[in-house]
Amino acid sequence: MVMVMSDKIKISADKPLSFTAQWVEDVNCVFGRDPAAHSVWEILLTYSGVHAVLIHRISHRLWKAKWRLAARILAATGRMLTNVEIHPGATIGRRLFIDHALGVVIGETTEIGNDVTLYHGVTLGGTTWNKEKRHPTLGNNVLVGSGAKILGAITLGNNVRVGANSVVIKDVPPCCTVVGIPGRVIQSKGTQIQNRHGIDLDHHLIPDPVGKAIACLIERIDELEATQDKSNKVLAEDSCGVCDAESICIPRKESPVKLAESA
């Protein structure tokens, strides 16, 4: 059952969604993840990421019905119109949002959960030419920053955040933040989800592991210098303060008077 309230669309999720209701949900999810969206018509007419998802819903059904050529032609048309390439064989869950949508590639055996957000330049790619599972699997509420590459038959758990321009080639546990080349886990939130809608869009709040390492090194150097200063003070207090190094190391010359008397 589809209900329209004001300028936003709400859906009753008591029953499995029909094809039309799924489209409506794809449009409606934009309001929760893009503050620039003001109306349904604006989204339908100007959001190429939404267009790409709506077209994929059709091409995927054609693919599953064994209308492979028609599915590929429709997907290719969608790529030309939206600059987003989604293979019709890819399995995409509910409420996928592709923001800005330029240069996004989603491979054939990709599996995407619900409420996933992808930014521009994201690649969900394969690492083998074999006809097998070769593309990544993304859990629910995953956010992938712009330019990130997720490669191979790996799994990203629920609530994972991938930093911009990262290259992820290994499995990532749920509720973690991944950055770097290759991607590495730098933060784990456990089961906490900050956003009340269950979608964490704060992908700019990423720790700086290099800066943290440098800060730790500077702190350690300060501690070592302080310890060295204390050691030097102790050594100075324990040494003889009246000794003259020159008087010990350099023999004194006899005075001319004493030399004359001895002669």
Q: pLDDT 10s per residue in the chain (263 long)?
A: 334 444 454 444 445 667 787 888 888 888 888 888 888 898 889 989 999 999 999 999 999 999 999 999 999 999 999 999 999 999 998 999 998 888 999 999 999 999 999 999 999 998 888 888 999 999 999 999 999 999 999 999 999 999 889 999 999 999 888 998 888 888 766 544 445 455 555 555 566 566 667 878 888 888 888 888 787 777 777 665 555 555 555 555 555 555 555 55
Residues 185 and 247 in one domain: no
- The DSSP bridge partners found for residue 125 are 151
Residues 177 and 217 in one domain: no
Residues 236 and 133 in one domain: no
Residues 30 and 159 in one domain: yes
Q: What is the pLDDT of residue 109?
A: 92
Asked if residues 77 and 54 have their Cβ atoms less than 8 Å apart, the reply is no
Residue 128: which CATH number?
A: 2.160.10.10
Residues 198 and 235 in one domain: no
Q: What is the pLDDT of residue 12?
A: 45
Residues 119 and 242 in one domain: no
Edge-to-edge strands, sheet with 137-138? 91-92, 111-112, 137-138, 155-156
Residues 197 and 246 in one domain: no
Residues 202 and 244 in one domain: no
Give me 76's structure tokens. 């290719």
Residues 7 and 98 in one domain: yes
- Quote the domain boundaries for residue 163: 2-211
Asked if residues 176 and 156 have their Cβ atoms less than 8 Å apart, the reply is no
Residues 238 and 110 in one domain: no
Q: What is the pLDDT of residue 11?
A: 43
How many domains does the structure of the chain reveal? Answer: 2
Residues 42 and 158 in one domain: yes
Q: What is the pLDDT of residue 210?
A: 64
Q: What is the three-class DSSP state of 20?
A: helix
Residues 132 and 21 in one domain: yes
Q: What is the pLDDT of residue 247?
A: 52
What kind and span of H or E run contains 51? Answer: helix 48-64
CB atoms within 10 A of CB 94: 17
